[in-house]
Chains A and B, each alone.
Chain A
Amino acid sequence: MSTATLKDVGKSHDNVKEPLNYLNATNTIKSWLFTVDHKRIAIMYLVAVSVAFLLGGLAAGMIRVELTVPKGQFLTNDAYNKVFTAHGVVMIFFFLIPAVPAVLGNFVLPLMLGARDLAFPRLNLLSFYVYSAALVMGLAAIIGGGVDTGWTFYTPYSSVYSNSNVALTIMAAFVAGFSSIFTGLNFIVTIHKMRAPGMTWFKMPLFAWAMYATSVIIMLGTPVVAITLALVVVERTLGFGIFSPEIGGDPVLFQHLFWFYSHPAVYIMVLPAMGVINEVIAANSKKRIFGYEFVAFSTMAIAVFGFIVWGHHMFATSQSMYLGLVFSVLSFLVAVPSAVKIFNWATTMYKGSVELTSHMLYAFGFLGLFTIGGLTGLYLSSLATDIHLTATYFVVAHFHYVMVGGTAMGFLAGLHFWWPKMTGRMYSEIWGKVSAVLVFLGFNLTFLPQFVVGYLGMPRRYHFYPPEFQLWHVMSTGGAFVLGVGFLLPAFYLVHSLKHGEKAGNNPWRAVGLEWLTMSPPDTHNFHELPVVTWEAYEYFQESHHGGDVAPSRFPFDDEELHLAADEEVHV
């Protein structure tokens, strides 16, 4: 058995004290724009999705300001409709779906598997450029007049009646879908073929399982929505009828085809975040995730079951009662694997050694918020309550709990967890904790009132509302400001750490995982000699019965050795 040591990586120049890593190895713009290094691509994606998140967040701010008062404040009906559509389209297609896979997955997956890069580095770069092109198209559509159909593009409004930039926005979503497919394809092949010698499927970290399940959903679902949206554009521009009732077409067919992807899409958004939570909880409990196999199988179960529940978005349509019953019971079943995971994560801490770092706080936030989000989903799977609650603010609150409380928290947890690895710097832990707490509190203040106002009957996508709902909306807007501050803070302290943060060691969290065997930041080619894996995933070892620190044993963790390259020049 050979263990990779850091004597093998990191060349250094005579004039430069700092060893060469993927960030400083080359410095030209061209070397970044034409890079095939998965780590650089991840950083570029980070910048892009942050821009998207900021724009989507601005739209959200406008919505909340507008809704503080029952009569609206400064937007016309038309403008409001375009703002909420922009919020949905940008957040879903340009942040929630790509963020964790394209930023954290791209960066960490090859390192974690003990590979030098993804299977197809050039495809990875293409994926980034396709995403960027899609983002530009989307922004052009929004700036050039906007689109007012809602991100769900229901026909015949979107295909016949709307007078906005529907076609351009749909094309942006279509192109973004290809970016997603390329990333998913890359991950599938990498996980199948490029694990380090000795790393069997069940020795893989659970983050890799999550990436695999996500990629399967991407490959099977995205093409369906792509062609469905393309048909809407065809109907709109060429006048072909497919969903038009005037000629015998079926508008509900659009809904079936659309939700066939868009329901699994929410699992594309949440499974990667769950993958991150695995890593963060294991590292901060110094313990193997409890029930590893159950968690791995639950992940795959969610991916499979997620494809057969789409009709729960359509209980109030003309869909038959029997179909409704089938979709409802399946939707209850799909909740079970997620519940299993929550319990497994909590139990992981039992007899562990828990550290309440900022990323652990984000992970806790995920656990609480995703639990509430998941449980409120059951109100919507339940037929009788759904007939009252569908298309109200209850749904809005539910999906924000799982998407922001789930995906965004998971993304932030992962960003904080792997930041030292990505940048070689430590950020301010205090600010990290402040931000985690602010996001958690602000989020609850924003969205808990929306459950109430939803049950009271306030429809979603409404610009105006009855005065008796105002109290809840004022609370929600107040919370939104706190949430906004919480989200903005990392932009400052993380960027600040790039120049002023303490230099990170190779394994600042003392975690088990192949990525922690590399330098921070890693060398361009990650490993010169691939490690041979003989240990289980998360193989932490407890040394003492009572308190004290725990140290991983079989995993070649040696603080001294790993700090070596950071402090001294290493000649290969």
Chain B
Amino acid sequence: MSLKSLENAAVASSGHHMIEQKLSVQFEDLDQQNESYIVGMWSFLVTEVMFFGALFLAYTLYRVMYFNTYLEAHHFLDVKLGTLNTLVLLSSSLSAALAVFYAQHGQRIKVALLLAFTCLCAFGFMGIKYVEYTSKINEGLLPDQNFNYAKALTVFHEHHKPAAGTEENPRANVAWEQLELARKANQVSFVVPKDNPETTFVESGFDNRVTSAADATARVVVKSPARERFDIEAGKAKIFFSIYFCMTGLHGIHVIIGIICMTTFILMYLTKHPAVDDYLPTEMLGLYWHFVDIVWIFLFPLMYLIS
């Protein structure tokens, strides 16, 4: 079935005429031109699959090796926000598909509006992402040298006071219990630094601990030089968050690229720029956006819904 017959069918059903397309000099006819663009776009999407594929592979390998950590660490991700993001992206995909349809019929204003709605959804997605990222960073979960898993556990624990087994994060409860046990065994202590009472972190000393109560609200532990912070499975949790930030970060970069392209297209449609006289560029943009959506559809359950 050639594109031509599809076009004819579309004209017959909608009553609108398909827009005229211009033939580039290297092509013999419009069919060849349209098919070439579609083959080209799909080939590009194959490269994008391989691009994300390597990260999905790293995710899978580490999940197989450190499943427990994944199970525990993923509870720090907010499923509600993730679901909201999914819905936002799905709606944006719908509007993108509609935009392509109207582009094929030359209805510039509708296209511009639909693309604007898609853009709005994309902004919304990035906004929700921003909220998620900042809360992670504040909890000490950015996997750089300031990574502090114990702090994240503390914050989590404070905000989700366990109600005896009804906690939706049984693993964090176990982790919390370990922390408590270690505290009872005098291996760790909770420290609220005098100069920064907003933060709490966990220190472990072993046999060279010196405690002094200089202040009623704070207890400072002097670290013996060779020691480190007590981190519960923190190394592997750091890997989980590295993968999380890299995958969602790469996805976010693709969303931003989509926003830039869509904004450009909206402006071109509004100014009747010749580049969008043809519907094909918009169709390719639509394909790209659907791809971005599909990557999220895979990312979301793999990251947020582990059980």
- Cβ of B130 under 8 Å from chain A: no
Other-chain residue from A185, A186, A194 in contact with B32 (beta carbon distance below 8 A)? A194
Q: Are B43 and A241 in contact (CB under 8 A)?
A: no
Q: State how many angstroms separate the Cβ of B57 from the closest Cβ of chain A.
A: 8
Q: Are A242 and B54 in contact (CB under 8 A)?
A: no
Number of interface residues of B (CB under 8 A): 37
Residue of B nearest to A188 (CB): B43
Q: Are A221 and B40 in contact (CB under 8 A)?
A: no
Q: State how many angstroms separate the Cβ of B41 from the closest Cβ of chain A.
A: 9
Q: Are B36 and A194 in contact (CB under 8 A)?
A: yes
- Cβ of A115 under 8 Å from chain B: yes
Q: State how many angstroms separate the Cβ of A42 from the closest Cβ of chain B.
A: 15
- Cβ of B44 under 8 Å from chain A: yes
For the complex, give the distance between the alpha carbons of A332 and B26 in Å: 43
For the complex, give the distance between the alpha carbons of A238 and B241 in Å: 13
Stretch at the interface among B45-53, B71-79, B157-165, B194-202: B45-53
Stretch at the interface among B93-101, B113-121, B243-251: B243-251
For the complex, give the distance between the alpha carbons of A242 and B238 in Å: 9
Given contacts A227-B54, A240-B143, contact A246 B242 (CB under 8 A): no
Residue of B nearest to A246 (CB): B235
Given contacts A188-B39, A223-B54, A530-B28, contact A249 B46 (CB under 8 A): no
Q: Are B39 and A192 in contact (CB under 8 A)?
A: yes
Residues of A within 8 A of B51 (CB): 223-224, 226-227
Q: Are A185 and B54 in contact (CB under 8 A)?
A: no
Residues of A within 8 A of B52 (CB): 227
Q: Are A189 and B40 in contact (CB under 8 A)?
A: yes
- Cβ of B66 under 8 Å from chain A: yes
Residues of A within 8 A of B234 (CB): 247
A window 149-200: CB within 8 A of B = 181, 185-186, 188-189, 192-194
Q: Are B36 and A193 in contact (CB under 8 A)?
A: yes
For the complex, give the distance between the alpha carbons of A149 and B143 in Å: 25
Q: Are A219 and B40 in contact (CB under 8 A)?
A: no
Given contacts A194-B36, A224-B54, A234-B246, contact A242 B239 (CB under 8 A): yes
- Cβ of A433 under 8 Å from chain B: no
- Cβ of B35 under 8 Å from chain A: yes
- Cβ of B6 under 8 Å from chain A: no
Q: Are B40 and A115 in contact (CB under 8 A)?
A: no
- Cβ of B11 under 8 Å from chain A: no
- Cβ of A127 under 8 Å from chain B: no
Q: State how many angstroms separate the Cβ of A246 from the closest Cβ of chain B.
A: 7
Q: Are A240 and B144 in contact (CB under 8 A)?
A: yes
Residue of B nearest to A190 (CB): B36
For the complex, give the distance between the alpha carbons of A219 and B47 in Å: 5
Q: Are B144 and A239 in contact (CB under 8 A)?
A: yes
Residues of A within 8 A of B242 (CB): 240-242, 249
Q: Are B236 and A247 in contact (CB under 8 A)?
A: yes
- Cβ of B9 under 8 Å from chain A: no
Interface string of A273-297 (1 = CB under 8 A from B): 0000000000000000000000000
- Cβ of B25 under 8 Å from chain A: yes
- Cβ of A421 under 8 Å from chain B: no
Stretch at the interface among A117-125, A454-462, A554-562: A117-125
- Cβ of B55 under 8 Å from chain A: yes
| Residue of A118, A185, A222 most packed against chain B (CB within 10 A) | A185
Given contacts A189-B43, A219-B46, A238-B144, contact A121 B26 (CB under 8 A): yes
- Cβ of A257 under 8 Å from chain B: yes
Number of interface residues of A (CB under 8 A): 42
- Cβ of A425 under 8 Å from chain B: no
- Cβ of A231 under 8 Å from chain B: yes
Other-chain residue from B35, B43, B58 in contact with A185 (beta carbon distance below 8 A)? B43
Residue of B nearest to A120 (CB): B40
- Cβ of B145 under 8 Å from chain A: yes
Residue of B nearest to A260 (CB): B54
- Cβ of A471 under 8 Å from chain B: no
- Cβ of B61 under 8 Å from chain A: yes
Interface string of B203-238 (1 = CB under 8 A from A): 000000000000000000000000000000011101
Other-chain residue from A226, A248, A530 in contact with B235 (beta carbon distance below 8 A)? A248
Q: Are B246 and A231 in contact (CB under 8 A)?
A: yes
Residues of B within 8 A of A530 (CB): 28
Q: Are B239 and A248 in contact (CB under 8 A)?
A: yes
Q: Are B40 and A185 in contact (CB under 8 A)?
A: yes
- Cβ of A313 under 8 Å from chain B: no
Q: State how many angstroms separate the Cβ of A2 from the closest Cβ of chain B.
A: 14
- Cβ of A228 under 8 Å from chain B: yes
| Residue of A220, A228, A248 most packed against chain B (CB within 10 A) | A248
Q: Are A227 and B36 in contact (CB under 8 A)?
A: no
Interface string of A259-274 (1 = CB under 8 A from B): 0100000000000000
For the complex, give the distance between the alpha carbons of A188 and B242 in Å: 35
- Cβ of A398 under 8 Å from chain B: no
- Cβ of A400 under 8 Å from chain B: no
A window 119-149: CB within 8 A of B = 119-121
Q: State how many angstroms separate the Cβ of A553 from the closest Cβ of chain B.
A: 28
Given contacts A117-B26, A193-B32, A241-B143, contact A249 B43 (CB under 8 A): no
Q: Are B239 and A241 in contact (CB under 8 A)?
A: yes
- Cβ of A525 under 8 Å from chain B: yes
Q: State how many angstroms separate the Cβ of B297 from the closest Cβ of chain A.
A: 20
Q: Are A223 and B239 in contact (CB under 8 A)?
A: no
For the complex, give the distance between the alpha carbons of A119 and B37 in Å: 8
Residues of A within 8 A of B50 (CB): 219-224
Q: Are A117 and B25 in contact (CB under 8 A)?
A: yes
Residues of A within 8 A of B40 (CB): 119-120, 185-186, 188-189
Residues of A within 8 A of B246 (CB): 231, 234, 240, 242
- Cβ of A40 under 8 Å from chain B: no
Q: Are B25 and A253 in contact (CB under 8 A)?
A: no
Q: State how many angstroms separate the Cβ of A431 from the closest Cβ of chain B.
A: 37
Residue of A nearest to B50 (CB): A223
- Cβ of A64 under 8 Å from chain B: no
Given contacts A193-B32, A248-B66, contact A242 B58 (CB under 8 A): yes
Q: 24 interchain pairs (CB within 8 A)?
A: A115-B26, A116-B25, A117-B25, A118-B26, A119-B40, A121-B26, A181-B47, A185-B40, A185-B47, A186-B40, A188-B40, A189-B36, A192-B36, A194-B27, A223-B48, A227-B52, A228-B54, A238-B144, A239-B145, A240-B143, A240-B246, A241-B238, A241-B242, A242-B58
The 4 closest A-B pairs by CB, nearest first: A239-B144, A223-B51, A247-B235, A117-B26
